[in-house]
Structure 1
Amino acid sequence: MTTSTIAVADAAALIRDTDTLGVPLGPGQPVELLHELGKRERFDDLQVYGALLVDLYEVFTRPGVRMASG
């Protein structure tokens, strides 16, 4: 199996406005990816599941984004 690396902006572009994301706890969170997603103005129905966020992310202030924790 081979691995590859892509830029954060390219990874964020792969996430659709109606996707569901699972975000790990604390140090496992993709900080740069979540910040990159915050650059979008809105989503249709992005659902994010996770807890113990390590930073403040604008993505969770965007219309169409729901965060579930617990």
Structure 2
Amino acid sequence: MTRPCRASSRTRPGCVALVTGAGQGSGEAVVRALPARGATVAATDRKPEGVTALAESVEKDRAAGHL
């Protein structure tokens, strides 16, 4: 069972976060930070190419062991 992440400095493993405005700025930073804390992230933005590039970058970081 998944549960939403609570807005706090301690994210619980297994929670799911929906990040809007994820293609740049603070939204991008949140998308990059949450997986390291055990969260599953769904990212959206008005410009899909920004989210696509972010997803590719995060996947490369994860594959390289940076997350």
TM range (shorter): 0.3 to 0.5
Tell me the TM-score normalised to structure 2 length.
Answer: 0.35
The structure with the greater share of residues assigned to helix is 2
Give the greater-gyration-radius structure (CA): 1
